Amino acid sequence: MEDAEEVVYWLMSDVVFGLACDFEVKNRVRGRSFRRLLFAKEVELMSQVNLMWGKRKQEEIDAILTKSPYDDAHEG
């Protein structure tokens, strides 16, 4: 059962990423890293599906930001 949930998590994560990308493009904020809006929307949508998945997505994003923080200065 855990393997099935893992597969569903990654499938949903892909769907949510696409939705978050569309949202970010339509709501882009000049002078701010596009990832701010993208990541926030991913967490929001994953949390609506499953609160634990939202927390997991936030942890994944936190790990990304540890290695590659936001850089608003280089955004158009």
- Residue 22's pLDDT is 98
Q: Is residue 39 a part of any domain in this protein? A: yes
8 belongs to a structural domain: yes
Query: What residue numbers bound the domain in which 29 lies?
Result: 2-69
Considering the domain boundaries, does residue 74 fall inside one?
Answer: no
On whether residue 22 sits in a domain, the answer given is yes
Q: Is residue 60 part of a domain?
A: yes
**pLDDT tens-digit profile, the chain (76 residues):** 679 999 999 999 999 999 999 999 999 999 999 999 999 999 999 999 999 999 999 999 999 999 999 999 877 5
Domain assignment present for 33? yes
Residue 16, in any domain of the structure: yes
17 neighbors 42 (Cβ within 8 angstroms): yes
Percent composition of the chain: helix, strand, coil (DSSP 3-state, to 5)? 80, 0, 20
The per-residue pLDDT for 76 is: 57
Domain total in the chain? 1
